[in-house]
Amino acid sequence: MRILLIEDDAVLGAAVRDQIAGDVHSVDWVTRLDAADDAIRGAAYDLILLDLMLPDGRGIPFLRRLRARGDVTPVIILTALDQVSDRIEGLNAGADDYLVKPFDLAELSARIGSVARRYVGNPNPIITHGTLDIDLAARSIRRDGAPVALTAREWALFEAFLARPGQLLSKAQLEDKLYAFDADIDSNTIEVHVSRLRKKLGAGIIETERGLGYRLGPA
């Protein structure tokens, strides 16, 4: 997934960014709401992590503006505001989850996974696709019962296909899922990773629509 982190605390922001990256997601980190608006206009995010007290404003009005213009990107609020009334306000404004600081980074990872699964219509972390048994929470795969090791980028790419079964994804869309906005991308990166996934998971796991993109193959 590509995640936007909106957090002005340098220490917490760095810790969350590193945790997300360790979970093989790409992350863009901004410290202001105006920078968050710019990031959202320039990229398609799968999830937003939103602090409520930013240098240039509060997160709740920002979230309400997102929802008012039809943006349905999942949002998890990360905040030190711990009153029940604060939680109610955040959830009523359109947040999908609410996590109070200080929080355990492993719990944040679990909540990110839970929200992501709800949005792809599969709350169960264990899914089967042909000969593959896939544990979304553990990020592990077995093929015909034998474990298959994927690199971080291979998993991130495969997860993008699993989230949109049957949907054609362009090369640009796939690159957007793998990299933060300041990363350098080789012209053949997606082709290389798709080839490796086919070798590891089966030749038909990803189908190519020449000149258009790729889609998850049938189970």
Mean pLDDT per 10-residue interval, the chain, length 219 residues: 93 95 88 95 90 95 93 92 93 93 94 80 73 84 93 86 86 78 68 94 93 90
Residue 181: the pLDDT is 46
Q: Are residues 133 and 84 in the same domain?
A: no
Please indicate, yes or no, whether residues 9 and 113 belong to a single structural domain of this protein.
Answer: yes
Looking at residue 98, which CATH number applies to its domain?
A: 3.40.50.2300
Same structural domain for residues 193 and 146? Answer: yes
Amino acid code (one letter) for 88 = I
Please tell me whether residues 195 and 141 are part of one structural domain. Answer: yes
Q: What pTM did the predictor assign?
A: 0.71
**Residue 142 sits in the same domain as residue 61:** no
pLDDT value of residue 184: 62
Encoded amino acid at 169, one letter: L
Q: What is the pLDDT of residue 1?
A: 81
Q: Whole domain around residue 181: which residue ranges?
A: 126-216
Helix, strand, coil shares, percent, the chain, to 5? 40, 25, 35
Q: Where are the beta strands (DSSP E) in the chain?
A: 2-6, 26-30, 47-51, 53-54, 57-58, 75-79, 97-100, 126-129, 132-135, 140-143, 146-148, 206-209, 213-216
Structural domain count, the chain? 2
